[in-house]
Amino acid sequence: MNEDENKKTEEEPEKEERVYDLSKTTDLVSAFRDGLSEEKIKSLISNHIEKLISTSGVNKDYEVVFLFDEDRSISSYHSNKIYEAVKDIDKKNILMILQSGGGQIEPAYLISKACKRLCKAKFNVTIPRKAKSAATLIALGASEIHMGLLSELGPIDPQFGGFPALGLSNAMEKIAAMSERYPKASDMFAKYLTENVNIRHLGLFERVNESAAQYAERLLMGKELPDGKTPDILADHFTNHYKDHGFVIDSDEASSLLGRKMIKEGSKEYELGNTIYDFLSFVQFLYSFILKKDMRYVGSVKSGLDLNEKESD
């Protein structure tokens, strides 16, 4: 036996690369614990999501895009990522998996408008759990909103520092009412307002709220709505009717407002959204707990996953 053959027998055989089946919880956890590269984990996740979409059959009808961001407000980042995902789809229908607590009104309007303009015939959204405030605005531009028992829309309620835009005027109305009820305290109330309220903010906040209603009305134009419901009536309802930012507009109430032609329940689109929500929620937990990273999925299947270092508590 020559020297090369001796070397060959002494060398250990190369280990086969492990195959991960992310439909199995144990494999999914192992993918995060086995020291794989960031890009490898991302690839495994996007490949599994592609498989889920293909298995559901939804890929035959749609280009699927994501706005799955439970920690950050909707901003120009989201509108830019979604535009990149849909600008070259060659006129296919669009299905957006929408999971968001809301954010800025302007980028939300542009997201909905772009998806409506670039789809072949339908821009639909599926809401596995929540699409609140500015995310509700996105949904109002869709042809169909696919919901389940735990799905919720919410009031379109622009926020400033965590407070609603109309909160300042509502507070001033309350103070005025108290001044009328307790006239001897009116000087105290007047002094408080002078020292604590910038009147310019009052006008600004009301204008922002009015803009939100205008955007909603534009997105609802041309839709077949229930009798007695018009774009302007619905826009006013979504922006001014509800008193709590977190108010739950479930599928039943959404149907009464927007009609059964727009609100769909128990569809394959919803089932896909719910399946992907369950998967991404667990992935989000693993990124946070094991790799100490915050995760969001915005845009296309292949390039939507974005990571940031987790902020210290």
Fill in the amino acid letter for 13.
Answer: P
Residue 16 lies in a domain: no
Residue 9 covered by a domain = no
Instruction: Check residue 9 and give its pLDDT.
Output: 53
Does 177 map to a domain?
yes
Residue 4 lies in a domain: no
Report the pLDDT averaged over residues 116-144. 96
- Residue 264, strand partner residues: 146
206-233 pLDDT, tens digit per residue, is 566 788 899 999 999 999 999 999 999 9
The CATH number of whichever domain residue 298 belongs to comes to: 3.90.226.10
Examine residue 69 and state whether it is found in any structural domain, yes or no.
yes
What is the DSSP pairing of strand 62-69 with strand 123-126? unpaired
Using alpha carbons, select from 145, 142, 131, 141 the residue that is nearest to residue 101: 131
Phi and psi at residue 31, to the nearest 5°: -60, -30
At residue 182, does pLDDT exceed 60? yes
Whole-prediction pTM: 0.83
**Looking at the 3D structure of the chain, how many domains does it have?**
1
Instruction: Return the pLDDT at 196.
Output: 56
| pLDDT tens profile 225-265 | 999 999 999 999 999 888 777 899 999 999 999 999 999 99
How many Å apart are CA 254 and CA 152, to the nearest integer? 9
Q: Which residue's structure tokens are 């927007």? A: 258
Which of 50-59, 142-151, 190-199, 211-220 shows the lowest per-residue confidence on average (mean pLDDT)? 190-199
Domain range enclosing 166: 22-309
- Distance linking the first and last C-alpha atoms of the chain: 64
- What is the tally of helices (H) and strands (E) in the chain? 12, 11
Q: Within a domain: residue 7?
A: no
Is 108 part of any domain? yes
In sequence order, the 6+-apart residues with CB closer than 8 A to the CB of 100 are 67, 68, 69, 70, 74, 130, 131, 132, 134, 135
Q: How far apart are CA 261 and CA 220, in angstroms?
A: 13
Q: Which pLDDT belongs to residue 171?
A: 54
- In this structure, what DSSP letter does residue 237 have? I
Is 14 part of any domain?
A: no
Q: Is the pLDDT of residue 204 over 60?
A: no
Predicted confidence (pLDDT) at residue 172 exceeds the cutoff of 90: no
Q: What letter would DSSP give residue 240?
A: I
Sign (positive or negative) of CA dihedral 162, 168, 174, 178 = positive
